[in-house]
């Protein structure tokens, strides 16, 4: 279902829903017009998508544009000539790459990649069939190897849909050994390529076809115009596309804030007592067990869990200790709020404690009252459409795309440990009066290095996700970062931090764009991940950056602070780091300057390993 | 809206031309936007509005609005000419 994002005018949301439901061309165009008439900041950022394909989609672009627009973003879809995939993706003089798309998508089917294998496989020997499948895999591998070297925009390759129409008879073993096996082999190869690549990703066309079954494709329009995707399934195709690009355009949520009674187990602990609580392998406890397993899976992908329950803490502790078949343990929760306060209040407290924005939270509760309270008092929190029906809660969790990321990084997996040690650090902080003395006890070690190919993903991740300690909040795409890296006058530095409680990985980024002609450099981005705030790490990064620029003969450094709702804690940072504030500027943009050479003092409490 | 009005509305919407400029003799020869892509859209819209399915060879006969109207009539869609 196409749904307008929260915050769009009601009228526009209605038009979007109507267009999604009817699928009628005019309804779609009307909705697109209404979206286009909204203020640009409500429409989201521009997103140019280049599509290479082996079949026709031209008549269906309006519907796909609408689905993407609801992310929200301002989509522009460029479609390349049929079949011309290698040229479109590799030739930078061809129109596709010249248009500098933010992402590229390849839609293909075995029907066009190897028609013989689909339509005449019964006439082929098993050796021929194997060879044909290998040929397709080789072609894709070569394409990807070449793109890996030259490409800049993230490339999304679709998996191939596996079709029952490949079969000549029910349970046709020849089809299993022919086209079906080929599709499985090719899809496996695609997934393997994406897993090892720096900027190749998967669009699960095959998964979409599976979800939509016999309604996915339309043989009549396929034969008439080589337009296989059925109009009746088009919107779901568009929504899947939008879901696929979402992590590219929007930061992922970080915390699942979840209720306990009638969500993580059946029954109300305070009223029914521990003996009446339903959890386990049998119905109905199995529903709640599945919800717990899903929460645990999210935790293993780096999502933090927060428990919000109106209960007595002692009862809850006892229940977690005594109940068998509980996949979740109390230790799995980074934050626990078992009290009688408003849930929005608890979420705000946790947000502050973890140094996260409220928009990093997804809230789950079976009570409409609680959901409404959070929607009203903390509107930035994403409230899941759960109900008193636990199956609905499970389904809503499984369909929730807020936590989607393309790859689980080591930092994601480590995040839970990080926050646990952060809680320990905070306890230590409370004991010590002089902040520097406290910092010294942490035995901080920083390492500063240039952005390299292998650290680009983390660079992008920080640009996308960091809100609070971020002076400019520029959400650069991978293609933009690659362009910056290509110019040797630009300096892109990463800061990694560790202390005696653990390694926090890469937590800071500074980008300075240089002009060798004027000997002037300008700070494009300067940011610290929230788990690194309050250690003076910014001073370490600053001293290395300025020393580097000074050594390279730069005479002026410019910078600006671009105000957002979230980054006010760093409004005075550039001044405190020694820059001079320029007069003028606006409420949202303050400019600074500094004459170089300038070698700032490095913080004495951090052991800096400078690789620059 | 009468079926006839709806029919012309579809052509005017899909082909992006004023409904007044259309009559039953309107065809790919008289309307520049009536290209192969427009046919795909016309099939989709007409099938949805009139709840019919065109046979694949009927699509090849989409030569002007009058012919398409008579194909629809064969499928039980009534157009009262009042």
Q: Are B30 and B65 in contact (CB under 8 A)?
A: no
Using DSSP bridges, classify how beta strands A589-595 and A491-499 pair: parallel, antiparallel or unpaired: unpaired
**CB–CB of A221 and B13 under 8 A?**
no
The pLDDT value recorded for residue A435 is: 63
The pLDDT value recorded for residue A432 is: 52
Q: Which residues of A210-245 are buried (b: 16+ CB within 10 A; e: fewer)?
A: eebeeebbbebbbebbebbbbbebbbbbbbbbbbbb
In what order do the strands lie in the sheet containing A155-158?
A74-79, A46-53, A103-107, A155-158, A200-203
Three-class secondary structure assignment of A93-159: CCHHHHCCCCEEEEECCHHHHCHHHHHCHHHCCHHHHHHHHHHHHHHHHHHHHHHHHHCCCCEEEEC
> Confidence band (pLDDT; 50, 70, 90) for A568?
confident
Closest-approach residue (CA) in chain B for A223: B56
Residue A383 backbone zone (phi > 0: left; psi -120 to 50: alpha; other: beta): beta
Using DSSP bridges, classify how beta strands A556-562 and A589-595 pair: parallel, antiparallel or unpaired: antiparallel
Q: Let me know if residue B82 belongs to a domain.
A: no
The H-assigned helical ranges of A311-444 are: 313-322, 343-354, 368-377, 390-399, 410-431, 435-441
For the stretch A327-385, pLDDT in tens is 999 999 999 999 988 999 999 999 988 888 999 999 999 998 899 899 989 999 999 99
What's the CA angle centered on A83, arms A82 and A86, to 5 degrees? 125
Residue A89, both tokens: 């993706």
Q: Which residue has the tokens 């337009």?
A: A227
- Which residues lie across from A595 on neighbouring strands? A556
18-77 of B, contacting A, C-beta below 8 A: 36-37, 39-41, 43-45, 48-49, 54, 56, 59
- Spell out which chain A residues touch chain B, with contact meaning CB-CB distance below 8 angstroms: 22-26, 56, 58-59, 220-221, 223-225, 227, 231
Does the pLDDT value for residue A143 go beyond 80?
Answer: yes
Does the pLDDT value for residue A234 go beyond 90?
Answer: yes
DSSP secondary structure string for all residues of A282-342: STTHHHHHHHHHHHHHHHHTT-EEEEEESS-HHHHHHHHHH-SS-S--GGG-SEEEESSS-
For the stretch A243-286, pLDDT in tens is 999 999 998 999 999 999 999 999 999 888 899 999 999 999 99
How many other β-carbons are positioned within 10 Å of the β-carbon of residue A121? 23
Complex-level ipTM: 0.93
Alpha carbon distance A461, A408 (integer Å): 11
> Confidence band (pLDDT; 50, 70, 90) for A317?
very high
A468: Cβ–Cβ under 8 A, 6 or more apart, which residues? Answer: A355, A357, A530, A533, A566, A567, A569, A570
From chain A, pick out residues whose CB is under 8 angstroms from the CB of B56.
220, 223-224
* Number of domains chain B contains: 1
Q: Let me know if residue B63 belongs to a domain.
A: yes
Does the pLDDT value for residue A417 go beyond 90?
Answer: no
The pLDDT value recorded for residue A468 is: 83
Q: What is the DSSP letter of B67?
A: H
> Confidence band (pLDDT; 50, 70, 90) for A429?
low
The pLDDT value recorded for residue A466 is: 86
How many other β-carbons are positioned within 10 Å of the β-carbon of residue A508? 25
Nearest of A376, A315, A317 to residue A342 by alpha carbon: A376
User: What distance in Å separates residue A292's CA from the closest CA in chain B?
Assistant: 43
Residue ranges making up the domain that contains B43: 3-74
**CB–CB of B41 and A25 under 8 A?**
yes
Q: Are A257 and A363 in contact (CB under 8 A)?
A: yes
| Sign of the alpha-carbon dihedral angle for A307, A308, A314, A319 | negative
Residue A228 backbone zone (phi > 0: left; psi -120 to 50: alpha; other: beta): alpha
Q: Let me know if residue B19 belongs to a domain.
A: yes
Q: Containing H/E element for A551?
A: helix A537-551
The pLDDT value recorded for residue B81 is: 62
**How much is the pTM?**
0.74
Alpha carbon distance A219, A18 (integer Å): 27
Does the pLDDT value for residue A238 go beyond 70?
Answer: yes
Half-sphere exposure of A225 (CA within 13 A, CB side): 23
| pLDDT (tens place) for every residue of chain B, 82 residues total | 899 999 999 999 999 999 999 999 999 999 999 999 999 999 999 999 999 999 999 999 999 999 999 999 999 999 976 5
Q: Are A343 and A370 in contact (CB under 8 A)?
A: yes
Query: Highest mean pLDDT: which of A79-88, A103-112, A406-415, A502-511?
Result: A103-112
Picking from B43, B45, B53 by the largest number of A CB atoms within 10 A of its own CB, the best residue to mutate is: B43
Widest pairwise Cα distance in chain A: 82
The pLDDT value recorded for residue A529 is: 86
**CB–CB of A231 and B44 under 8 A?**
yes
Q: Which burial class, exposed, middle or buried, applies to A275 when counting CB atoms under 10 A from its CB (0-12, 13-18, 19+)?
A: exposed
Alpha carbon distance A303, A334 (integer Å): 10
What's the CA angle centered on A95, arms A89 and A96, to 5 degrees? 40
Q: Whats the size of chain A, residue-wise?
A: 612
| Nearest-10 crossing angle of helices A61-69, A234-249 | 40
Q: What is the DSSP letter of A266?
A: B
Mean pLDDT of A193-214: 94
Nearest of A55, A224, A230, A223 to residue B61 by alpha carbon: A224
A22, A59, A220 member nearest B41 (Cβ): A59
What is the pLDDT of chain A when averaged over all its residues?
91
Give the CATH number, domain containing residue B50.
Answer: 1.10.1200.10
Nearest of A6, A29, A33, A3 to residue A16 by alpha carbon: A3
**CB–CB of A224 and B41 under 8 A?**
no
Closest-approach residue (CA) in chain A for B56: A220
Q: Let me know if residue B24 belongs to a domain.
A: yes
How many other β-carbons are positioned within 10 Å of the β-carbon of residue A30? 15
Q: Which residue has the tokens 């394409």?
A: A143
DSSP secondary structure string for all residues of A488-516: TT-EEEEEEEEETTEEEEEEEEEEEEEET
Q: Containing H/E element for B73?
A: helix B65-74
Q: Containing H/E element for B15?
A: helix B3-15
For the stretch A151-201, pLDDT in tens is 999 999 999 998 877 777 877 776 677 899 999 999 999 999 999 998 999
**CB–CB of B48 and A24 under 8 A?**
yes
Closest-approach residue (CA) in chain B for A24: B45
Q: Let me know if residue B80 belongs to a domain.
A: no
| Nearest-10 crossing angle of helices A126-150, A179-196 | 20
Using DSSP bridges, classify how beta strands A200-203 and A155-158 pair: parallel, antiparallel or unpaired: parallel
The pLDDT value recorded for residue A500 is: 77
Quick one: what percent of chain A has pLDDT higher than 90? 74
Q: What is the DSSP letter of A87?
A: H
What domains can you pick out in chain A, each with its CATH number? 44-249 (3.40.50.1110), 255-399 (3.40.50.1000), 430-610 (3.40.630.30)
The pLDDT value recorded for residue A169 is: 80
């Amino acid at each position: 279902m196409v749904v307008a994002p929260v915050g769009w005018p009601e009228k526009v949301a209605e038009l979007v829903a109507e267009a999604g439901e009817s699928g009628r061309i005019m309804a779609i165009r009307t909705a697109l017009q209404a979206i286009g008439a909204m203020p640009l900041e409500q429409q989201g950022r521009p997103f140019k998508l280049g599509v290479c394909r082996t079949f026709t989609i031209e008549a269906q672009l309006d519907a796909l544009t609408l689905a993407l627009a609801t992310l929200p973003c301002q989509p522009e879809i460029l479609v390349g000539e049929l079949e011309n995939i290698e040229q479109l993706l590799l030739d930078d003089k061809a129109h596709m790459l010249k248009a500098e798309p933010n992402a590229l998508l390849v839609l293909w089917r075995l029907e066009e990649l190897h028609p013989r294998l689909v339509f005449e496989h019964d006439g082929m020997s098993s050796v021929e069939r194997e060879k044909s499948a290998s040929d397709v895999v080789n072609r894709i591998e070569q394409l990807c190897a070449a793109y890996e070297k030259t490409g800049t925009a993230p490339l999304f390759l679709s998996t191939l849909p596996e079709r029952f129409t490949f079969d000549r008879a029910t349970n046709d073993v020849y089809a299993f050994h022919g086209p079906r096996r080929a599709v499985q082999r090719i899809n496996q190869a695609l997934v393997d390529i994406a897993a090892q690549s720096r900027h190749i990703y998967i669009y699960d066309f095959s998964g979409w076809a599976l979800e939509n079954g016999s309604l996915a494709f339309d043989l009549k329009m396929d034969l008439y115009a080589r337009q296989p995707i059925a109009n009746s399934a088009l919107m779901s195709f568009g929504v899947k596309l939008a879901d696929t690009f979402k992590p590219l355009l929007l930061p992922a949520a970080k915390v699942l804030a979840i209720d306990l009674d009638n969500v993580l187990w059946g029954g109300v602990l305070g009223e029914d007592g521990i003996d009446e609580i339903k959890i386990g392998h049998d119905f109905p406890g199995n529903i709640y067990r599945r919800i717990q397993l899903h929460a645990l899976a999210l935790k293993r992908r780096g999502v933090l869990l927060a428990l919000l329950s109106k209960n007595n803490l002692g009862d809850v502790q006892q229940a977690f200790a005594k109940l068998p078949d509980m996949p979740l343990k109390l230790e799995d929760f980074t934050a626990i709020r078992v009290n009688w306060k408003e849930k929005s209040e608890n979420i705000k407290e946790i947000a502050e404690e973890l140094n996260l924005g409220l928009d990093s939270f997804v809230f789950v509760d079976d009570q409409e009252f609680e959901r409404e309270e959070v929607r009203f008092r903390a509107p930035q929190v994403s409230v899941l459409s759960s109900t008193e029906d636990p199956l609905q809660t499970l389904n809503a969790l499984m369909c929730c795309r807020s936590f989607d990321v393309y790859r689980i990084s080591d930092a994601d997996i480590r995040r839970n440990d990080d926050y646990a040690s952060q809680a320990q650090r905070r306890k230590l902080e409370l004991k010590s009066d002089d902040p520097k003395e406290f910092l010294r006890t942490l035995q901080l070690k920083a390492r500063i290095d240039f952005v390299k190919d292998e650290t680009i993903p983390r660079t992008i991740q920080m640009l996308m996700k960091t809100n609070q300690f971020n002076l400019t909040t520029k959400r650069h795409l991978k293609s933009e970062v690659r362009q910056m890296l290509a110019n040797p006058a630009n300096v892109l530095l990463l800061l990694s931090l560790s202390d005696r409680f653990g390694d926090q990985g890469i937590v800071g980024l500074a980008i300075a764009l240089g002009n060798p002609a004027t000997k002037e450099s300008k700070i494009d981005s300067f940011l610290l991940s929230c788990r690194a705030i309050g250690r003076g790490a910014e001073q370490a990064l600053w001293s290395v950056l300025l020393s580097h620029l000074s050594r390279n003969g730069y005479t002026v450094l410019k910078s600006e602070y671009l105000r957002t709702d979230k980054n006010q804690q760093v409004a005075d940072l550039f001044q405190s780091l020694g820059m001079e504030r320029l007069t003028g500027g606006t409420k949202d943009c303050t400019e600074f300057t500094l004459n170089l050479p300038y070698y700032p003092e490095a913080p004495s409490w951090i052991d800096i390993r400078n690789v620059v | 809206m009468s079926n006839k009005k709806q029919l012309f509305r579809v052509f005017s919407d899909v082909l992006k031309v004023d409904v007044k400029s259309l009559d039953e003799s309107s065809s790919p020869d008289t309307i520049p936007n009536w290209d192969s892509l427009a046919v795909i859209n016309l099939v989709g819209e007409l099938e949805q509005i009139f709840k019919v399915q065109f046979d694949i060879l009927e699509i090849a006969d989409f030569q002007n609005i009058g012919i398409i109207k008579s194909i629809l009539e064969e499928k039980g869609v009534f157009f009262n000419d009042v």
